[in-house]
């Protein structure tokens, strides 16, 4: 270990030296100020596996009662930040599962930036008794808090440079650890909950599960909300400063019970059932593991604050607000990149959780080029019904792009406006032309005899898939209608003035 030093008060001497008690980790449990022997006995069953750029393939194992010398002789880099990865129910660390993949991504994408600890607790997690595993999340959380407290006291590591990443029950373990450390005066910098577990946590207060006060910044990805088998395993309500509801929080790509036979053939019986029935729940870490280098043309996973998923799908939530806080981007490296995880860089001041929504593509890479389309009718226009076909043309660095979108007209009578969310697999680029073609069904007899007079004031195309306002503005356009001899085909060109 590099440039390690030791505090004047040794951990082992704290019980004998009253002046040293401020450094002695006493983690409260249910109002008690000292841990029981049974609790500490269980702590020894929690492993903390250290990986760095120097030992990416072979872990150095610790437990909660490690000594200064253990850290000193390890690969721990005192100048690097620390990330903890915490698994959930019926899981354990393996180089071949998502824990190994995330460890590798953190170290390989940002060499020498992080010490990565995998919190491995299979003795409690691998059981058919979910109630017991749920109960033990507090035990594991307190063991983690003890470990972090000693880590900070044995090194120059600041708690603000610690990021806890937990999936399912692991998210609540992160919450228990953060809450316990807060009582010792240490505030964890960031917690990321990957679809925090919902079953049996629904009626618990914030001290009995993850909540937004467990770290300086708490974010969550909701992908499989529900109460148990059949309708999801994830917590349905916001738990953090920012809560991402991915594809509404419940319907993820290629997650269907009809996939069970295919998954059994591919993974075997146990993993086949898990990959089928927990598919939505698992998508949280699948999305976090996406290789952003494969995202096309400046695409980022940006969520927008919205009252509900219906409004988001309707294209009504398409602005980051004057202070930029009405949207956020998903990133493992938010604390290092100004353009990602901006809520972490500039913590929210509001006491209310912010719900943001984000839709993905149906297959990897999942980052969609999302656009909000707005069609504004003129005051003297009749209200259309039926369907329309929107053709958008643009150029992306010299490459011509053309996309055709079909939608049902549904005009809001109060503001005479139609809006929707459109997903593309490529960036449209600078919009140069648009065409709207109106058409009606064979049963629209009234339209057959007298077609409504449609006058469109303007068409707005707003690009949503980047946190940088300059990029969003560059790929957005306000389009004005050209004179048209037919009521069914309307051409648009960029407006010469701002709408």
Q: Which residues pair with 355 in a beta bridge?
A: 243
Which residues are annotated as catalytic? 168, 195, 281
**Antiparallel, parallel or unpaired: β 456-463 and 477-481:** antiparallel
Question: Do the annotations mark residue 70 as ligand-binding?
Answer: no
Radius of gyration of the chain (CA): 26
Quote the CA–CA distance of 20 and 475 in Å, as a whole number: 59
Q: Minimal CA–CA distance to 43: which of 200, 236, 177?
A: 177
Q: Please name which of 362, 364, 346, 363 lies closest in space to residue 354, comparing C-alpha atoms.
A: 346
Please calculate the CA angle 356-360-361 and round it to the nearest 5 degrees.
170
C-alpha span between 293 and 290 (Å, rounded): 9
Helices 98-109 and 279-288 cross at an angle (nearest 10°) of 10
Report the distance separating Cα 46 and Cα 44, nearest Å: 5
What b-and-e string marks burial along 29-51, b requiring 16 or more CB atoms within 10 Å of the CB?
Answer: beeeeebeeebeebbebbbbbbb
Cα distance between residue 314 and residue 57, in whole Å = 47
Nearest to 354 by CA among 305, 311, 290, 388: 305
Candidates 119, 118, 117, 124; CA nearest to 90 is 124
- The CA distance from 209 to 196, in Å, is 9
Residue with tokens 């600041």: 158
Region label for 481, one of left (φ > 0), alpha (ψ between -120 and 50) or beta (otherwise): beta
What token pair was written down for 196?
């925090």
Instruction: Mention every residue, 6+ apart, whose C-beta is less than 8 A from residue 36.
Output: 29
What percent helix, strand, coil does the chain show, rounded to 5? Answer: 30, 25, 45
**Nearest alpha carbon to residue 374 among 316, 298, 333, 305:** 316
Question: If you ran DSSP here, which 8-state letter would residue 496 be given?
Answer: S
Q: Which residues are annotated as a binding site for Ca(2+)?
A: 209, 211, 214
């Amino acid at each position: 270990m590099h440039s390690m030093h030791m505090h004047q008060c040794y951990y082992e001497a704290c019980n004998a030296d009253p002046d040293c008690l401020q450094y002695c980790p006493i983690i409260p449990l249910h109002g008690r100020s000292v841990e029981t022997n049974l609790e500490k006995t269980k702590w020894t069953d929690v492993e903390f596996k250290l990986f760095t750029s120097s030992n990416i393939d072979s872990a150095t194992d610790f437990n909660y009662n490690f000594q200064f010398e253990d850290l000193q002789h390890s690969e721990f880099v005192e100048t690097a930040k620390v990330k903890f990865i915490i698994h959930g129910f019926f899981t354990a660390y393996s180089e071949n599962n998502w824990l190994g993949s995330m460890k590798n991504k953190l170290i390989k994408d940002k060499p020498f930036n992080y010490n990565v600890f995998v919190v491995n607790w299979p003795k409690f997690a691998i059981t058919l008794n979910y109630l017991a595993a749920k109960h033990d999340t507090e035990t594991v959380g307190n063991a983690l808090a003890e470990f972090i407290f000693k880590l900070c006291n044995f090194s120059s590591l600041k708690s603000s440079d610690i990021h806890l990443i937990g999936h399912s029950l692991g998210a609540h373990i992160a919450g228990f650890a953060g809450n316990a450390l807060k009582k010792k005066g240490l505030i964890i910098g960031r917690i990321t909950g990957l679809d925090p577990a919902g079953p049996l946590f629904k009626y618990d207060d914030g001290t009995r599960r993850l909540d937004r006060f467990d770290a300086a910044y708490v974010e969550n990805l909701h992908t499989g909300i529900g109460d148990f088998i059949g309708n999801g395993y994830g917590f349905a309500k916001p738990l953090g400063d920012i809560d991402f509801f991915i594809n509404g929080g419940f319907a993820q790509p290629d997650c269907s019970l009809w996939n069970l036979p295919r998954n059994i053939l591919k993974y075997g019986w146990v993993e086949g059932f898990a990959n089928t029935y927990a598919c939505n729940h698992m998508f949280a870490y699948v999305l976090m593991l996406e290789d952003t280098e494969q995202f096309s043309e400046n695409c980022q996973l940006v969520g927008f604050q919205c009252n509900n998923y219906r409004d988001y799908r309707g294209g009504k939530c398409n602005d980051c607000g004057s202070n930029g806080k009405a949207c956020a981007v998903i990133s493992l490296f938010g604390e290092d990149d100004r353009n990602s995880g901006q809520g972490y860089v500039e913590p929210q001041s509001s006491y209310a959780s912010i719900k943001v929504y984000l839709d993905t593509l149906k297959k990897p890479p999942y980052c969609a080029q999302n656009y909000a389309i707005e069609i504004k009718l003129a005051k003297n226009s009749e209200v259309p019904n039926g369907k329309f076909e929107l053709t958008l043309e643009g150029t992306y660095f010299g490459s011509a792009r053309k996309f055709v979108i079909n939608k049902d007209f549904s005009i809001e009578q109060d503001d005479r406006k139609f809006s929707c969310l459109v997903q593309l697999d490529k960036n449209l680029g600078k919009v140069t032309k648009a065409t709207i073609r109106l058409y009606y069904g064979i049963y629209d007899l009234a339209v057959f005899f007298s077609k409504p007079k449609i006058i469109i004031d303007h068409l707005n195309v707003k690009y949503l898939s980047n946190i940088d306002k300059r990029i969003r503005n560059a790929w957005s356009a306000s389009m004005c209608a050209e004179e048209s001899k037919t009521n069914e085909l309307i051409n648009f060109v960029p407006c010469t003035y701002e709408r």
